Amino acid sequence: MIHEYSVARRRMVEEQISEAGLSDQRVLQAMKEVPRHLFVPQLLIPRAHQPSALPIGFGQTISKPFTVGLMSTLLELKGHEKVLEIGTGSGYQGAILAHLAQKVISVERIAPLADQSRETLKNLGYHNITVLAHDGTTGYADHAPFDAIMVTACAPHLPPHLLSQLKDGGYLLIPVSAGDDQILYRYQRRGSEVLVEQSVSCRFVPLLEGVKISDAVTSDLSPTQTGETATEQSAEGDPLA
């Protein structure tokens, strides 16, 4: 199963990532290796490598390939880092980060989705990523500080405690709402200063407090839904640029 769709992955990387100007070879190689089709519902496997976000249930999506490539590139990981991912989703972005960093802590507020992604990652042999059902708005202080933090949900402003969990020199990526739009920002700690860079317009689900347990949320992707109907629900990661 892992080696299936290898040609589709290579074309995805060449046509959607490389041709868009992203050139980090470690990111490109990770995206060629991680079996994206195993992180989407079976109904949508034929569409796994298309340039669009796809629903994974619970009102969430797997971000489109370019989004994953861009955000992974912006962290500038070298391989020795400890990374915090806020918003595990399907686990696909976490798998890419696991190729790029030494250790990944990934937190997901929807408990059954965390369980599902944890099982997928375990079955694929990823041992350097830990998935937890946890309120991502608080970060994860128990394992701080982190060399890098990636947030895959939109906040009205930068949660200040996230910066406090970031190592000096590290990058923090987060979509921030700007009126009716959302902008992906990259923050970097430089001693007592914080450098801010604006990236692309994007569309993510909101960053919410709390943890949803299994009896408090149900999947919104039933086997009878068509891909077109289900895709209309996607909101997590679909840059407009």
Q: Are 34 and 95 in contact (CB under 8 A)?
A: yes
CB atoms within 10 A of CB 79: 9
Look at the alpha carbons of 96, 213, 172, 170 in this order and tell me if their dihedral is positive or negative: negative
Rg, the chain, Cα only: 17
Amino acid type, 64? K
Q: CA 97 to CA 94: how far, in whole Å?
A: 5
With a CB cutoff of 8 Å and minimum separation 6, the contacts of 179 are none
Report yes or no: 58 and 110 within 8 Å, Cβ to Cβ. Answer: yes
Among candidate residues 63, 90, 106, 117, the one labeled active-site is 63
The H or E element spanning position 62 is strand 60-62
Q: Are 70 and 31 in contact (CB under 8 A)?
A: no
Whether residue 192 lies in the annotated active site? no
Structure tokens at 115: 């369980």
- Which are the catalytic amino acids? 63
